[in-house]
Structure 1
């Protein structure tokens, strides 16, 4: 059940990162906010890989052989990490765009469709086998997130109609996140290493590709973004750090367990967000939100024991 602990760690870190990115989006272009997630992350990922490879992976060896062996990276692995890197950039850009939408809550809820999408695509194309209980938990979690997403809109008496643009952006974000996670899991299972160490290599590759590729693209297309980021350098460094640590948890959890289960459990991020809003912002919790939170709790329990 170690995947559960990694997922919970990822949820807490991701909640903090989203809050920081949302604040930064008021001052920096969408591409810049997206880059802030990756810009300073590769050195942190490298440090984690070295610590894991030299100490954690070898902690059970009789001689305590602290050596780093460079594995071979087949073409399939390289293809998977490149696809994962590009799709995660796209997914993050869509999510940052949602920050600027009026009905952000609905869009963000649709982006959380990644658990259901991952379950369907994983079963059809990636050989994932999910139990009946697991499927029920995934569907229940999706319903719960949608209930929570439209709750505030209905509470104010406004129409719960979803703007087509927000619908498209939300679903695109969820689909890209789902494919990213599936490719990450496949890449982790490609290397002949312990899964947690494979996940660390995948993370380093993905972050390196993202930071390099997106930086070059911005330098060619809109270099002024770098000046925007420099004005908020402390926030950018903090976002990169929190994001990288969160990715360590996500990548490890997805290497150990089916993506759909990990993402369904990860929906408790919605619960955490509502709790923070209630105690820090004094937002009232509605009956609809209580129902949604209970459903998320049930869904999380079902996938943990599937």
Structure 2
């Protein structure tokens, strides 16, 4: 049941990271906000791996071709997913943007079964489907106010996050290391790739962004800290359990998101949120007992 603890930790941390990124997005470009997620998380991830080996010795990581491929693919796809989420923040309110991106649980279930050999129980599938319905309700979906651009961004964002999660799990399994060292190493190398890619991009395409980073350094430090803690939770949970189950339970992030949106971002919840939250609770119970 360790995956449940790590998923809850990840959901809580991600809710704060998204809120902080939403605030930062009013001052910085999409690429800058995306880099803020990784920039200072890398040394924290390195420290995490060091502490793992200090308190629980294990074999060193043996680099293999399939491991490198999964890490690079996951790194690039998470950059794309994060950039799409930042664009969602600019399209709709914070709560709606985060809600639309939660389609990743359902997408991960389908892709996992079709391409990655995952096998979900009947209760598991029911939980994933109910979670998907809850996401639609919480995102404010209705045919009268349907916005094709926002919906497409949300689905694309969820798909990219789903692929990231599936490749992270495959990388963790390919490392052949015991848990939690496998998740720690994958996290460190994914963050390394992402930091290098985005730093090069900003230096070449948006050099002025480094000044923005210096101006908002405290906020960016908080984004990186929340991101690192969240990633440790996600990577650990996905090393132990199917991605679809982890992401469905991870939808409890919406509880934290609504609380943050109400108390910090001054964006009060709507009445439909109650139904959505009840459905998420049911979905979480189903995947935990499946």
Match of 2:179 in 1: 195
Instruction: Please give the residue correspondences for 1:24-103 in structure 2 after superposition, counting only pairs within 5 Å.
Output: 24-55=24-55, 57-58=56-57, 69-102=59-92
- Give the counterpart of 1:214 among 182, 191, 198: 198
SS of the residue corresponding to residue 95 of structure 1 reads: helix
1:167 aligns with 2:151: yes
- Deviation string 1:227-254 (CA, Å, 9 cap, x unpaired) is 1111101111111111111101110000
Look up the match of 1:65.
none
Cα offset, 1:132, TM superposition: 0.4
Q: Distance in 1 between matches of 2:259 and 2:41?
A: 29
Q: Partner of 1:240 in structure 2? A: 224
Q: Deviations for 1:20-46, whole angstroms, at most 9, x for unmatched residues?
A: 111111111111000000111111001
TM-score computed with the length of structure 1 as normaliser: 0.90
Equivalent residue number for residue 182 of structure 1: 166
In 1, the alpha carbon distance for the partners of 2:180 and 2:260 equals 31
Q: Would you identify which runs of 4 or more consecutive aligned residues in structure 1 move more than 6 Å?
A: none
1:251 to 226, 232, 235: 235
Q: 1:223 to 1:277 in 2, by over 3 A?
A: closer
CA distance in 2 between counterparts of 1:183 and 1:254 reads: 10
Assess, with a 3 A threshold, how the Cα gap between structure 1 residues 26 and 107 changes in structure 2: closer, same or farther.
Answer: closer
Deviation digits for residues 235-288 of structure 1 (CA, Å, limit 9, x no counterpart): 1111111111110111000000000000000111112222344566483651x2
- Unmatched segments (≥5 aa) in structure 1: 59-67
1:2 deviates by 0.6
Q: Is the 8 A contact 1:189 1:195 kept in 2?
A: no
Name the SS for the 1:113 alignment partner.
Answer: helix
Q: Is the counterpart of residue 283 in structure 1 residue 268 in structure 2?
A: yes
Under a length normalisation based on structure 2, what TM-score does the superposition of the two structures give?
Answer: 0.95
- 1:146 aligns to what? 136
| Larger Cα-atom Rg | 1
Matches within 5 A, 1:17-28: 17-28=17-28
Give the aligned length: 289
